[in-house]
Amino acid sequence: MTASPSLVDLRGITKTFLGVAANDDIDFDVRAGEVHALLGENGAGKSTLMNVLCGLYRPDRGQIFLSGQETAFRTPRDAIAAGIGMVHQHFMLIPVQTVWENMILGQDGFGFVLSKKAICRRIGELADQYGLHVDPEVPVWQLSVGEQQRVAILRMLFSEAKVLILDEPTAVLTPQEARQLFATLRRMREEGHGVVFISHKLDEVAEISDRVTILRKGRKINTVRTSGVGPEELAEMMIGSRVVPAVNKRAAVTGETVFRAQELSVLNDKDLPALEGLSLELRRGEILGLAGVDGNGQTELCEALVGLRRLQSGRIFFNEREMTGASVRDFLGDDIRYIPADRRGTGLVPTMNLRENYVLRHYWREAFRKGPFMNWEAVAGQTGRVTERFDVVTPSLGVPVRMLSGGNLQKLMLARELDGNPRVVVAMQPTWGLDVGATAFVRERLLEAREKGAAVLLVSEDLEELLALSDRLAVIHKGRIMGLLEDPRRATEETLGLMMAGRPLTSPKEGD
């Protein structure tokens, strides 16, 4: 069988930063009518390679060929004009503008006067062709996350992209939306598009891709036909060694309720209702999972539970001591810990080094003080011990944390938040964007905290993770709990997807 012609061919791409090769002599091509998956651990060089392809970076060495003709991209605009588009994890859309207005941002060829009717007609044609239906006159902020992703893909198709790069495209989708996306990708493949599929979910890679390229430490390890390898082999090629099981979960030994939220109502950053009468309880020695599509009140709930967001109404209790209206310091003391989703912006201070970021949580402890001053020697000693235990790879404790990879940033935050014996842990998207090895490590640390008696609230968009780790599982939709499953193992993906889309769990047997 003759291979399809290459739409894009990268040859010998090398890109270095501060003397370190992020890409080292990498070859990568995308053929017409295929989905080519790109795999690798955090820091393997995937983003750098795609940024070269999108015109965000210029390679130090190497060549780019489009349909056999050598070219060079000076800017992302050049790449878009050449038919290359990327849908990022965080959609590059303007929330206050409508779908059709977002569609034409940065586009050429419309002349001085725009024809809204013609633009909307073209959007409708593409939506029908690829199954990406959305109202072109609705402001983006009013759309669900899944609908926003459709807009981001339509925008690339509207610009006549032949090669589409999708970065973790299912991370924010319900199972039903993920299936719809895969149907769209298959249609694109039939139409002759080339798709680059970046994901850490190896089962999805096996389902949707035709070929897989694996990067490790900036170098290409192999390109293989997906049909010839299994997920275990792919993970082993990514990491370079045999992969240990991601979860080693023992039976829960739950105790009394240690943390209770009662009828919480809060506003989001737009002063619109984010939570409406939400209640939940955390028990000692258990993980309570919370499933839901991003943007349904998860962030506001976590911030309210740790004192970072003011309640409009409702009450919070820790060990039957009312915490409603307490200061953030009272919440985030030695007993209640918070692992936010935004590790670079909220969880850590990028310009501070490892010692400084560690002590942000513990600076009031007597062990780290000399009278009115910090005891930096003691801080350095403890930071070194916890970073070693949590396998944080760093040149030294004195480097700014912005120099660390995503996986090491997450490990550092976990090392700080799980140091000691916290009673309550609120963890939001703790493995988001992490590779197989780092994901397994983070999950084991959460299970370890649970086994030490902590009550853990695990907020995640990864249903596989929630089903693997949770002792009980709740589903949130538009600020309300749709149902609570006492035995997540009996829940079907279909039932969970319907609850995530807003259908309440009406019967305890519905998850059977």
Among 92-96, 377-381, 470-474, which is the least confidently predicted range? 92-96
Q: How far apart are CA 292 and CA 296, in angstroms?
A: 7
pLDDT higher than threshold 90 for residue 382: yes
- Host H or E run for residue 446: helix 436-451
- How is residue 217 annotated by DSSP? T
Q: How far is CA 10 from CA 13, 36, 41, 80, 205, in A?
A: 7, 13, 21, 16, 21
Q: How far apart are CA 435 and CA 59, in angstroms?
A: 25
Domains (ranges, CATH) in the chain? 1-83+199-243 (3.40.50.300), 257-350+402-500 (3.40.50.300)
- Host H or E run for residue 216: strand 211-216
Contact 149, 171 (CB under 8 A): no
Query: What pLDDT is stored for residue 402 in this prediction?
Result: 86
Contact 193, 31 (CB under 8 A): no
Determine phi and psi for 273, rounding to 5 degrees: -60, 130
Full DSSP string of 371-412: TTEE-HHHHHHHHHHHHHHTT---S-TTSBGGGS-HHHHHHH
Cβ count within 10 A of residue 272: 8
The burial class, CB within 10 Å (0-12 / 13-18 / 19+), for 478 is middle
Contact 296, 262 (CB under 8 A): no
* Summary count for the chain: helices (H), strands (E): 16, 22
Q: How far apart are CA 381 and CA 387, in angstroms?
A: 10
Cβ count within 10 A of residue 179: 15
Q: How far apart are CA 326 and CA 312, in angstroms?
A: 14
Place of tokens 């725009």: 114
Among 254-258, 430-434, 452-456, 470-474, which is the least confidently predicted range? 430-434
Query: What pLDDT is stored for residue 3 in this prediction?
Result: 65
**H runs (alpha helix) in 245-375:** 298-305, 328-331, 354-359
At 111, is the pLDDT very low, low, confident or very high (cuts 50, 70, 90)? low
Q: How far apart are CA 346 and CA 338, in angstroms?
A: 10
Higher pLDDT, 268 or 244: 268
Query: What angle separates helix 406-418 from helix 376-389, to the nearest 10 degrees?
Result: 110
Which tokens sit at 477? 């939709």
Put residue 260 in one of left, alpha, beta given phi > 0 → left and psi -120 to 50 → alpha.
Answer: beta
Coil, helix or strand at residue 12:
strand
Q: How far apart are CA 281 and CA 10, in angstroms?
A: 53
What are the pLDDT digits (tens) for 112-170? 667 888 889 999 999 888 888 889 999 988 887 778 888 989 998 888 889 999 988 88
Q: Percentage of the chain surpassing pLDDT 90?
A: 46
Instruction: Determine the average pLDDT of the residues in 25-54.
Output: 91
At 512, is the pLDDT very low, low, confident or very high (cuts 50, 70, 90)? very low
What are the pLDDT digits (tens) for 425-462? 999 988 876 777 778 888 999 999 999 999 999 999 88
Pairing of the two strands 69-71 and 194-198: unpaired
Q: How far apart are CA 361 and CA 143, in angstroms?
A: 37
Helix then strand then coil, % of the chain, to nearest 5: 35, 25, 40
Instruction: Determine the average pLDDT of the residues in 31-37.
Output: 95
**How many residues are recorded in the chain?**
512
**H runs (alpha helix) in 201-359:** 202-208, 231-239, 298-305, 328-331, 354-359
Place of tokens 């680059």: 196
Put residue 322 in one of left, alpha, beta given phi > 0 → left and psi -120 to 50 → alpha.
Answer: beta
Instruction: Determine the average pLDDT of the residues in 261-280.
Output: 92
- How is residue 98 annotated by DSSP? B
pLDDT higher than threshold 80 for residue 333: no
Query: What pLDDT is stored for residue 508 in this prediction?
Result: 43
Q: Which of 167, 147, 159, 148 is nearest to 193 (CA)?
A: 159
Query: What pLDDT is stored for residue 286 in this prediction?
Result: 95
Instruction: Determine the average pLDDT of the residues in 66-77.
Output: 90
At 510, is the pLDDT very low, low, confident or very high (cuts 50, 70, 90)? very low
Query: What pLDDT is stored for residue 243 in this prediction?
Result: 58
Query: What pLDDT is stored for residue 428 in this prediction?
Result: 92
Among 30-34, 41-45, 127-131, 251-255, which is the least confidently predicted range? 251-255
Full DSSP string of 133-195: ---TTSBGGGS-HHHHHHHHHHHHHHTT-SEEEEESTTTT--HHHHHHHHHHHHHHHHTT-EE
Query: What pLDDT is stored for residue 110 in this prediction?
Result: 63
Mean of all residue pLDDT scores within the chain: 87
Q: How far apart are CA 275 and CA 221, in angstroms?
A: 47
Pairing of the two strands 211-216 and 20-31: unpaired
* Strongest mean pLDDT among 14-23, 211-220, 238-247, 439-448: 211-220
Cβ count within 10 A of residue 463: 20
Q: How far apart are CA 486 and CA 243, in angstroms?
A: 31
The letter for the amino acid at 185 is: L
